Amino acid sequence: MPDEKEQLFLCKPCAEEMKNYKTVASVEYIRPARDKGTCELCGRRRFGYVCEVEYRDVEREDVK
């Protein structure tokens, strides 16, 4: 199964926080946004980054 990736607009604090999520394998900054946008995690309008978020299937890993 291929890794699930998604591009999201995130402010930097949210991008850093997502890295700590169990369901997130990695967060890569693709490019900084020129204009303010709505962060898809906190919903605030601020400068941020277009990020590529790679998810992982934790439910499967948690089965022991």
Binding-site ranges for Zn ion (CB under 5 A)? 11, 14, 39, 41-42
CB of 25 to Zn ion, least distance (A): 19
Comparison of 7 and 57: residue with beta carbon closer to Zn ion:
7
Nearer to Zn ion, 34 or 64 (CB): 34
8 Å CB contact between 30 and 8: no
Contacts of 27 by beta carbon, 8 Å cutoff, 6+ apart: 10, 15, 16, 18, 19, 51, 52, 53, 54
Cβ of residue 46: shortest distance to Zn ion, in angstroms? 7
